């Protein structure tokens, strides 16, 4: 384990909150450089079982990049990601197999597949029928295919899309596309779900539905990390919140703690002094 700078303010309060819970994800000093730019600068993140962790920060703070590092889409230039006590290699497939699934900020469904097929693709990593079994249509193939389909139908119902399975993903309304992405991620049987702005572009009613869905998923025993800009959403939902600014951890704590921290407000809307300066100039 590398030496870790303790994140600012990540002290007593959170320790009390999470005592006795199993640590699921432990990211240590994760750093991502693109040439001279340090997009993520030794960020630490610990997620416990059954917890909803919020990730906030102004645009360009490195939230999505951090997600990409966690899920193996990027190979981090420094640090390591430990999941359930095992250090994950930076390969998306291994990460999914280990039990971490994600959604995307800009929806990335398979547009010309039906909703059901999209979810079925999510089952890929939990099934193993190879080319030969598929050609011979052996009993294993048929069993797996049946299981895949049943599970996919269940998941569609779970996210509230019952009976929508035979529509092309590209024809679905926006809110349903977001939900379908969650269903597809759930199809991989994750233990930890990473949601990248799950309510972006949603109206208040859809946001409320998404909130309920996320609670429902949490109650089924999954841990969740969620990137959001909608502060009300974050504070309704999250047990703990981590705020990133310019690739660094600004503060970590309970929702109320982070909400009332002047530095967070400053990061988002600028400090009163700089405003005054701007006004005087």
What residues make contact with other proteins under the rule CB under 8 A? Answer: 71, 73, 92-93, 96-97, 101-102, 104, 108-114, 116-117, 120-125, 127, 129-131, 134-135, 137, 141, 144-145, 148-149, 153, 156, 163, 165-168, 170-171, 184-185, 188
Compare residues 5 and 134 and give the one whose CB is closer to other proteins. Answer: 134
What is the DSSP secondary structure assignment for residue 171, as one 8-state letter?
Answer: G
Please tell me the distance from the alpha carbon of residue 54 to that of residue 225, in angstroms, as a whole number.
6
CB 247, min distance to other proteins, A: 22
Least Å from the CB of residue 20 to other proteins: 32
Q: Which two tokens stand for residue 235?
A: 């504070």
Q: Give the integer Cα–Cα distance in Å for 246 and 38.
A: 8
- By beta-carbon proximity to other proteins, the closer residue of 141 and 268 is 141
Please give the sequence-ordered ranges of beta strands (E in DSSP) within the chain, or none if there are none: 23-34, 37-48, 52-56, 78-83, 86-87, 100-102, 192-196, 223-227, 240-245, 248-254
User: Closest Cα partner for 208 from 196, 199, 217?
Assistant: 199
Strand 192-196 and strand 100-102: the pairing is parallel
The pair of three-digit structure tokens given for residue 200, joined into one six-digit string: 């972006």
CB 109 within 8 A of CB 175: no
Minimum distance between the CB of residue 33 and other proteins, rounded to whole angstroms?
A: 21
Q: Which is nearer to other proteins, 162 or 232 (CB)?
A: 162
Between 152 and 264, name the residue whose CB sits nearer to other proteins. Answer: 152
What lies within 8 Å, CB to CB, of 61 at 6+ separation is 244, 245, 246, 247
8 versus 121: smaller Cβ distance to other proteins: 121
Closest approach, Cβ 127 to other proteins, in A, equals 6
Backbone angles phi, psi at 30, to 5 degrees: -70, 125
**What is the 8-class DSSP label of residue 168?**
B
Residue 122 beta carbon to other proteins: minimum distance, rounded to whole angstroms: 5
Q: Which is nearer to other proteins, 113 or 231 (CB)?
A: 113
Least Cβ distance, residue 98 to other proteins (angstroms)? 10
Supply the minimum distance, in Å, between the C-beta of residue 134 and other proteins.
Answer: 4
Question: Would you call 28 helix, strand, or coil by DSSP?
Answer: strand
Angle (deg, nearest 10), helices 139-158 and 115-122: 120
Least distance to other proteins, CB of residue 39, Å = 18
Beta-carbon contacts of 164 under 8 Å, excluding residues fewer than 6 positions away, are 115, 156, 172, 176
Q: Which is nearer to other proteins, 171 or 203 (CB)?
A: 171
Q: Which is nearer to other proteins, 168 or 231 (CB)?
A: 168
């Amino acid at each position: 384990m590398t030496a870790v700078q303790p994140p600012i303010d990540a002290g007593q309060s959170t320790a009390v909150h999470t005592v006795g819970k199993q640590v699921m994800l432990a990211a240590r000093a994760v750093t991502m450089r693109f040439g001279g730019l340090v997009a993520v600068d030794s960020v630490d993140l610990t997620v416990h079982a059954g917890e909803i962790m919020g990730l906030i920060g102004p645009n360009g703070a490195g939230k999505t990049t951090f997600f990409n590092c966690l899920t193996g889409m990027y190979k981090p230039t420094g640090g390591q990601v430990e999941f359930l006590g095992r250090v994950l290699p930076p390969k998306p497939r291994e990460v999914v197999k280990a039990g971490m699934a994600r959604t995307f900020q800009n929806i990335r469904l398979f547009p010309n597949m039906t909703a059901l097929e999209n979810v079925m693709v999510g089952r890929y990593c939990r099934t193993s029928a190879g080319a030969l079994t598929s050609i011979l249509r052996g009993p294993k193939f048929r069993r797996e295919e049946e299981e895949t389909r049943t599970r996919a139908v269940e998941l569609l119902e779970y996210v509230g899309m019952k009976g929508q399975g035979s529509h092309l993903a590209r024809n679905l309304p926006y809110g349903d596309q977001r939900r379908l992405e969650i269903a597809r991620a759930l199809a991989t049987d994750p233990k930890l779900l990473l949601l990248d702005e799950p309510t972006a572009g949603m109206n208040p009613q859809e946001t409320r539905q998404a909130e309920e869905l996320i609670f429902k998923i949490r109650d089924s025993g999954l841990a969740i990390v969620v990137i959001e800009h909608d502060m009300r959403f974050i504070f309704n939902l999250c047990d703990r919140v981590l705020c990133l600014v310019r690739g660094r951890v600004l503060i970590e704590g309970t929702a109320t703690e982070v909400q009332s921290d002047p530095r967070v407000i400053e990061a988002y809307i600028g400090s009163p002094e700089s405003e005054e300066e701007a006004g005087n100039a």
